[in-house]
Chains A and B, each alone.
Chain A
Amino acid sequence: MEIQRKIAGDSYELLVSGRVDGEGANQLDEAILAILFNKNKDIQQEPKTIYVNLSGATFLCSAGLRALMQHSRTMKSRRGRLLATRPSTEATEVLKMAGLYEQLVERI
């Protein structure tokens, strides 16, 4: 799995491609934590919104959803938002089964 990061002011986008399985979920978790806690010392502005673009996710499991849910709560407590965007067919199926599609996916 690969994650690319794009920054526009206080908006951060993570473009996820490949399998978000157990190992991929750990990577995603680390990538979000790096933004939330400025782990790489490269965050200029406090994140207001984190977008996780799932258009390239070929697989998504509950571990990946856990990372999204937990950090969505963290962002909410900071008066920000974490949203999933453009989920692939595979990611959409799983988000809907978990009852998270309506709550986490941004309508574009």
Chain B
Amino acid sequence: MEIILKNKPEEKRRLLAALETFACAHQLPKPVFRAADLVLEEHLTNVMSYAYDDGRDHEIRVRLEASPSQIVIEVEDDGRAFDPTHAPELDTFLPVDQKPVGGLGIHFIHRCMDEVRCQRRANRNVLWMIKRLPVAAP
């Protein structure tokens, strides 16, 4: 499944509807759906908030693929170069007063997914977020 979004926050509603259809079609377990929902919200918020500074409309391409063993979420944007796999690790043990307010979204992406890869190609960022599916009982 592929969906093309404009860099507007309200577009995330369309993506959520598509994700629900995708999850239903592939009978994804609820925790897997929740993880996919969260990482898409976090990554797209980052892209829409920080990737563009020209005030123009841009297209963000999201692809969802499922196989018996995993789902792959691919997000491609033409914003400024950014690789979330190189973001510093967050110290979640800090007390609330000292916790940084930024970086939680990327932390969730790493915690929710089994594999996260990023590539810059032809002036576009491509992020792959992979979640392994639980093995069905024999």
Contacts and interface: CB of A to CB of B under 8 A. Distances in A.
Interface residues of A, number: 23
Contact of A90 (B34, B92, B101): B34
A62 B95 contact: no
The DSSP consensus for interface residues of chain A is: helix
Contact of B45 (A22, A65, A98): A22
A26 to B, nearest CB: 10
Given A21-B12, A69-B96, A103-B95, A97 B101 contact: no
- Interface residues of B: mostly helix, strand, loop or mixed? helix
Given A21-B12, A98-B92, A103-B95, A63 B34 contact: no
Nearest to B100: A69
Interface residues of B, number: 22
A46 to B, nearest CB: 21
A61 to B, nearest CB: 5
Interface in A18-67: 21-23, 59, 61-63, 65-66
B101 A98 contact: no
Interface of A: 21-23, 59, 61-63, 65-66, 69-70, 72-73, 76, 90, 93-94, 97-100, 103-104
